[in-house]
Amino acid sequence: MKIVFASTPSQEEEICGLVGYIYSTVFPLYFSDDEIRSFEQLKVLHTSSKQFDDFSTLKDAFQVMTSMQTIISILESPTLDDQYSSLFNKNVSNLQEFGLFFPFEFDQFVDAKNMKNSIFSIYTKAANELII
């Protein structure tokens, strides 16, 4: 007999939070607003109830969270060295095994970082809010 612990709602919230963080903080470092909008339409990293069914155990949910956090750490590093390429690709593969669509290669981010000029994005979270 094997005992399996189900993922918790807080883990599902954390995964959704990581997806939001990628869209609001990581993608604007590399892509234009139009490109990010197209990622939304293509359902990149889209989490639905089916995806949560695919990683319904504690272990699976932790693997998804760890893969996302690793990808975030790599992409937020000041320089994208080739030494991170295999680690990046391994974590992208992990996400895809759990049904999360992340159709990027490491080299796409290297190229995008070299070409990105704009600092402002509608996807970037506001630094402050004005309350009226």
What is the tens place of the pLDDT at every residue in 8-53? 778 888 999 999 999 999 999 999 899 999 999 999 998 877 666 6
| Share above pLDDT 90 across residues of the chain, in percent, rounded to a whole number | 53
Tokens of 12: 């599902």
Task: Please report whether residue 90 resides in a domain.
Answer: yes
Going 19 to 110 to 71 to 96, the CA torsion angle's sign is positive
Rounded Cα–Cα distance for residues 45 and 36 (Å): 12
User: For the chain, how many structural domains are there in total?
Assistant: 1
Rounded Cα–Cα distance for residues 89 and 14 (Å): 22
Going 37 to 16 to 62 to 7, the CA torsion angle's sign is negative
- Per-residue pLDDT tens digits for 114-124: 776 545 556 55
Q: Are 70 and 93 in contact (CB under 8 A)?
A: no
Task: Please report whether residue 127 resides in a domain.
Answer: no
Can you give the residue range of the structural domain that contains 13?
A: 9-115
